[in-house]
Amino acid sequence: MGSEKSIGRVFASTGGYTLLLLMLVQLAAMLDRVILSVLLQPIKLDFHLTDTQLGFVSGLGFSLALSLAVLPMGYLADRVNRKRALVVIVSAWSLLTVMSGLARGFPLLCLARIGLGFAEGGQSPFVLSLIGDFFPSRYRATALSFMYMGVPLGMLVGLLVGGMAAAAYGWHVAMMVAGAPGLALALVIGLTLREPRRGQQDDQPQTSAQPLDFRQSLAFIVRTPALVHMFIGGACASSVVCVMGVWLPALLMRDFSASIGKVGPALAFSGGAMGVLGSLICGPIADRLGQGSPARMAFLTGSFVLLFFPAAQLCVTAGDFNSALLFNGLFNLLVPGYLACLHSTVLGVAHARVRGFAVAFLAIMLNLMGYGFGPQFAGMASDWFAARHAALPLRDAMMVLLVAALWGSAHFYYAARLLRSDGRLTSAPPAPAT
């Protein structure tokens, strides 16, 4: 009953429509990312690529571009109209996904994915800044879990449609199909989303809504150790999430000789559908247990990561296709809880005048270290194991990378300890620049 009341209060506070739009932004972003993972094997065969090259185009190239763009985007998110910015960036990354499907060689595909990374650099700062101003802290994990439902839904749609379209028409067409929905979404956002007043949902009174300058924003991050540990933990945990998301389709195709037409729909339901279920369950549970406290949310973040680690290990080492799907479903059931608690903690600790910058800094860690270096190192490790005649080189490489979850959970638990000893909901920011 408590979680149901929380869900009802979240929707009543702003209306479900706003949350739906922001969830669809997540869906469009995830669709454009995950479509490449299910297409890696046919792209590898078409362009005669190594796993190291696949790791670059699927992870590091994209995330480097995103990381270069996200901090300036976070700086802008504290200053400009966020609705208008979303229209521009959603349109841009959708067009670049279509262009990825038109690529006729590895260099052109890389350029399109790098451009997509630049465009997606604004997604997290603008969307999460809006969430912080639409929803109060005591219901924020629920709101975030519903918003992040777009991630497993994007995974479900991308794997299902991507696998079926690639099997029927080839990977080029599948990529172009994935870019179309975002263009329609950008139009709807421009026509219907409203811009909230900054800081209106903060638990502490705001003396000024004026944003901090770059130096002050960076100083706020540096002198808030709990945030630093949340960022490091997020980088470690997200590397595990991204390694599983990027490389699991290829692993199943190689280890079990499964076709893309079989792997895509199977992962769509074992990963995407279970992720949707996790979004419905984990957020309300986290709000009930966390009670709006950043310290409790940090502790819950570490707990979700500690729980999904063995599920990932069992998925990668499964001896048959169906067992791998089962453990992949369990893994994806827990991931939304990790994401909701992580971002709820950061939004709770970061003041309204620095919130976009803090979220941008987090996005750099999640994308550069997680989405970038995670898949890249897995691809390099796979080639290294293959050169030494390992029986299952990609599986061995993924097993090594998954251990990062343990390191990440330790940082989350330490952040929780710092926040409990601090006793403050948020760190006091410096006076705004004059």
Under a CB-based contact definition with an 8 Å cutoff, are residues 271 and 332 in contact?
A: yes
Which structural domain range is residue 263 located in?
14-198+211-422
134: in domain: yes
Higher pLDDT, 139 or 421: 421
The verdict on residue 185 lying in a domain is: yes
- The alpha carbon dihedral of 240, 242, 248, 251 has a sign of negative
pLDDT at 133 over 80: no
Per-residue model confidence as pLDDT tens digits over 5-48: 445 554 555 557 888 899 999 999 888 887 887 788 888 888 88
pLDDT at 430: 45
- 378-405 per-position pLDDT tens digit: 889 999 999 998 889 999 999 999 999 9
Instruction: Please check whether residue 3 lies inside any domain of the structure.
Output: no
Count of structural domains within the chain? 1
Determine the 3-state secondary structure of 128 from DSSP.
helix
CB 275 within 8 A of CB 335: yes
- Tell me if 394 sits within 8 A of 254, measured CB to CB: yes
* pLDDT greater at residue 209 or residue 276: 276
pLDDT digits (tens, 9 = 90+) for 59-79: 778 888 888 888 788 778 778
Task: Please give the pLDDT value at position 425.
Answer: 44
Tokens of 2: 């408590």
Which band of pLDDT confidence, cut at 50, 70 and 90, is reported for residue 432? Answer: very low
Question: In the 3-class helix/strand/coil scheme, how is 255-285 assigned residue by residue?
Answer: HCCCCHHHHHHHHHHHHHHHHHHHHHHHHHH
Does residue 46 belong to any structural domain of this protein? yes
* Integer Cα distance of 298 and 272 in angstroms: 25
Sequential DSSP letters for 346-410: HHHHS-GGGHHHHHHHHHHIIIIIIIIIHHHHHHHHHHHHHHTT-SSHHHHHHHHHHTHHHHHHH
Element (H, E) at 237: helix 225-255
Q: What is the pLDDT of residues 282-303, one digit of tens each?
A: 888 888 888 878 999 999 999 9
Mean pLDDT across 301-323: 95
pLDDT confidence of residue 264: 80
Q: Is 31 exposed, middle or buried (0-12, 13-18, 19+ CB in 10 A)?
A: buried
Contact, 151 vs 275, CB < 8 A? yes
CATH number at residue 187: 1.20.1250.20
Q: What is the mean pLDDT of residues 98-111?
A: 88
Higher pLDDT, 235 or 152: 235
At residue 428, does pLDDT exceed 50? Answer: no
pLDDT computed for residue 187 by the predictor: 92
**pLDDT at site 298:** 95
- Of the listed ranges 9-13, 166-170, 357-361, 420-424, the least confidently predicted one is 9-13
Q: Note whether residue 434 is domain-resident.
A: no
Range with lowest mean pLDDT among 55-59, 113-117, 287-291, 333-337: 55-59
Q: Would you say residue 41 lies in a domain?
A: yes
Across 6-15, 130-139, 229-238, 379-388, least confident range: 6-15
CA 32 to chain centre: 12
Specify whether the CB–CB gap between 153 and 272 falls below 8 A: yes
31-35, 42-46, 177-181, 196-200: range with lowest mean pLDDT: 196-200
Q: Report the alpha-carbon distance of residue 205 to residue 196 in Å, rounded.
A: 17
pLDDT of the residue at 12: 56
The residue with greater pLDDT, 3 or 309, is 309
Q: Looking at the predicted structure, is the pLDDT value of residue 346 above 70?
A: yes
Asked whether residue 433 is assigned to any structural domain, the reply reads: no
- Mean pLDDT calculated for residue range 117-128: 84
Per-residue pLDDT band for 416 (boundaries 50, 70, 90) equals: very high
Identify the three-state secondary structure at position 300.
helix
CA atoms 392, 393, 399, 400: torsion sign? positive
User: What is the pLDDT averaged over residues 155-178?
Assistant: 83
Question: How confident is the model at residue 372, as a pLDDT?
Answer: 74
Q: Is residue 378 part of a domain?
A: yes
| pLDDT beyond 50 at 431 | no
